[in-house]
Amino acid sequence: MGCSESLHTKELPEKLTWTRPDFDELCSKGEEALKRLNILRRDLLCSWDRLSAHLSIKNLRPEQVHIGLLISLSILSCQDFLGINLHLSNKLPGILFSQDALELIPHHTHHMLNFQQAYQMWCEFSLEIEQSLPTIRAIETIIIQCGNLYYALTDERLSRATREEWRIVDFRKIEGSVSENLRVLVEAADLFHEILRNVRDWTVSLRNSFDRVREERTQYEIHHLADKCKESSVWEVKNIIEFVREDITRILNQ
């Protein structure tokens, strides 16, 4: 997905210690951003990690999982999407179907269980993306506020140092006392923008996938790939994606 593994495990400190009262507001807003970022990392990125670990495919992307699940559904429903009341939505999770109707179709229990596990994790990941959007907007606002506060404080302190030259030594010492906290906030901003890039990439690529699978031609190709998998006794979602990965890429890029 293009997201550095370190982002998934990097727990940011949520408490900052400042030595100047004029930094209190910046400290408060910074801590709020850090807490929200850790929640975003734990919920959104870890939900993708769980799905990726379950499928254990190198360089896996969400849109490939989306197509892989549809191929699996084609196999399980005997290519009868109408029979399971499949609804291809342009919103996450993008796949809705009648569980009861699917269970009436005879198939191997193990294959059904494997699909259900992958689909459940897919739905959890989809929900986390949706729920992350308000958090992302809130963090973005806080980062802008922190930037404005910091520059305002810096301008004021530089102005005072210029007017009161005898205090310039103290001014420089104060810089050292807050540098570690500023480093944490800069690191948090970098983490946020990296997460933001990935969420944008996910949503754009999934929107493309949602549009593709609504086309009759694409559904025909999905059924064709399902036949190809059945002929080679490829049943599980993980193996399906690996077996026809080049075909999935072609569908997404056509």
Q: What angle do CA 101, 213, 91 make, to 5 degrees?
A: 80
Closest by CA to 189, choosing from 235, 126, 149, 142, is 142
Q: What is the pLDDT of residues 138-156, one digit of tens each?
A: 999 999 998 888 888 777 6
The DSSP letter of residue 35 is H
Give mean pLDDT, residues 158-167.
60
Q: What is the pLDDT of residues 60-118, one digit of tens each?
A: 999 999 999 999 999 999 999 999 999 999 999 999 999 999 888 877 777 888 999 99
Q: What is the pLDDT of residues 180-239, one digit of tens each?
A: 788 888 888 888 998 999 899 999 999 999 999 999 999 999 999 999 999 999 999 999
Tally Cβ neighbours within 10 Å of residue 68: 30
Closest by CA to 242, choosing from 109, 73, 64, is 64
Q: Which residue has the higher pLDDT, 171 or 228?
A: 228
Place of tokens 């993008």: 94
Tally Cβ neighbours within 10 Å of residue 133: 11
Closest by CA to 118, choosing from 248, 241, 249, is 241
Is residue 219 within 8 A of residue 213, CB to CB? The reply is yes
For 114, the token pair is 């494997």
Evaluate if residue 178 carries a pLDDT over 60.
yes
Strand pairing partners for 87? 96
163's torsion region: left (phi>0), alpha (psi -120 to 50) or beta? alpha
Evaluate if residue 164 carries a pLDDT over 80.
no
Is residue 32 within 8 A of residue 57, CB to CB? The reply is no
Closest by CA to 146, choosing from 31, 241, 15, is 31
* pTM (2 d.p.): 0.86
For 52, the token pair is 């990726």
Tally Cβ neighbours within 10 Å of residue 214: 13
Q: Which stretches does DSSP call E strand in 21-143?
A: 87-88, 95-96
Evaluate if residue 8 carries a pLDDT over 60.
no
Is residue 178 within 8 A of residue 18, CB to CB? The reply is yes
